[in-house]
Structure 1
């Protein structure tokens, strides 16, 4: 069951705010704070290669300027979080509604728990909220980009690895996840976007992608993100259209 939470955030200082260019780290720190002394603390803090059982994205109402290492934005900003594990969303919701200010100079302006979306179709068009990242094993050509011939292969590899590595973790919290079945990329309208992250740049991509596959596998992607680094704010999906 897909659980999502959308949080609207405003700077306390007025209608304009400023973030470092690699702003995702701020929200990773927020999640560490949220899950402190909960059953999820170790998962959120872990630096192991095991994929995180959640995804988040940060959206800006309007970016006014990107200069050097800073982003100047117009209020509000949107912090979106999703996981197949309902308890994770529950802890986050309880934390958000109990705080006046969730980070230095940022206050909560609204919280929404949308009705869970259940995917029943084999073909779905998704919009990537923010950007996503795919990687391959070779270090010389590490990032996979939309125009690469092995894009679909890398996508399936990432899904398979994620399902295999995180099955036990999901089951610990009573969540059944599907067995791997490959997906087919029917259509992709994606563009390369460099993302500033941890002081360097990551080759990410954004846009829309239409996938054909088992509805349970598509649901897993919708609930927990596409590609790698979902716990670092990449790969959150929104359903644009189901094709019946």
Structure 2
């Protein structure tokens, strides 16, 4: 009975998303992309250095308020998250464990290729709109408004993209729990990135994805290495502009859900130029 109820709710959410696509002219040939622009205010211009984890806490607070039955499925365990996000900060300056902003606001960009996940997050963020939520460093964040942003259609097997949040290529040892991170400058960057993506691409598309992923190629155009502090560790990653050569369905999935690993922690968000 529970499974039937869940199936009905899932269908209901899919229908709501179709309505959004028509109302906001987002339909791009049958895709389920939801891309959100979330405008937020802070109480002060000082935020914690580990701001990505605070955004995840914001998402969790919204899910617990609007869809608590979905919380465990979305955040429980260590499974790959089928969404990504980035945070635009106005002229940030590092101040040790904190960041000082030029203005007390930010823009959170969110993207998913799964209609149900998109509606759940949209409702979660709407439920928090206008409310102060703890953000660390003695600060609060308030969601002002949420905009649904149309996504460009992928045409062809080569696309020029830019990162909205750093791309992470991580080699994780399951026995020692140690991590090695690679930037685009390293030979291990692309092979490791492919290993990171293989399990969830096979889960989404089957064994064909293994063959197509092997052919995927990333060509840096204007890239640089950055080190990001997140979850109490320093993460070597890559930002900038690059060309992605891959089957159109893989490009679409990666633009919608993020490139690489740790997408649910605010990494790997990309967009077409």
TM-score w.r.t. structure 1 length?
0.83
5+ residue gaps, structure 1, are 168-175
Residue of structure 2 in register with 1:215 after alignment = 248
Residue of structure 2 in register with 1:85 after alignment = 114
Is 1:17 equivalent to 2:51 in the alignment?
Answer: no
Question: Residues 105-158 of structure 1: CA distance to partner in whole angstroms, max 9, x if unpaired?
Answer: 322233210123321221011111121210125688811211112322222222
Question: Residues 11-45 of structure 1: CA distance to partner in whole angstroms, max 9, x if unpaired?
Answer: 2x4xx522110111111111212222455312332
* Mapped partners of 1:80, 1:163: distance in 2: 23
Larger strand fraction of residues:
1
Residue of structure 1 in register with 2:196 after alignment = 158
Distance of aligned partners of 1:100 and 1:178 in 2 relative to their CA distance in 1, 3 Å threshold: farther
Q: Secondary structure at the match of 1:61?
A: coil
Larger radius of gyration: 2
Larger helix fraction of residues:
2
Which fold has the larger relative contact order, with Cα–Cα distance below 8 Å and residues 6 or more apart in sequence?
Answer: 1
Aligned Cα root-mean-square deviation (Å): 2.3
Q: Secondary structure at the match of 1:204?
A: strand
Shift of residue 101 of structure 1?
1.9
Shift of residue 70 of structure 1?
0.4
Question: Contact between 2:168 and 2:236, CA under 8 Å: does it hold in 1?
Answer: yes
Is 1:186 equivalent to 2:219 in the alignment?
Answer: yes
Is 1:8 equivalent to 2:39 in the alignment?
Answer: yes
Match runs of 1:1-244 below 5 Å = 1=31, 2-11=33-42, 13=43, 16-36=44-64, 37-38=67-68, 40-48=70-78, 50-63=79-92, 65-73=93-101, 74-98=103-127, 99-101=129-131, 103-104=133-134, 105-137=140-172, 142-164=180-202, 166-167=203-204, 179-180=208-209, 181-182=212-213, 183-240=216-273
Question: Contact between 1:60 and 1:75, CA under 8 Å: does it hold in 2?
Answer: no
* Mapped partners of 1:214, 1:102: distance in 2: 43
Paired residue total: 226
5+ residue gaps, structure 2, are 1-30, 135-139
Q: Which moved more, 1:216-225 or 1:75-84?
A: 75-84
TM-score w.r.t. structure 2 length?
0.75
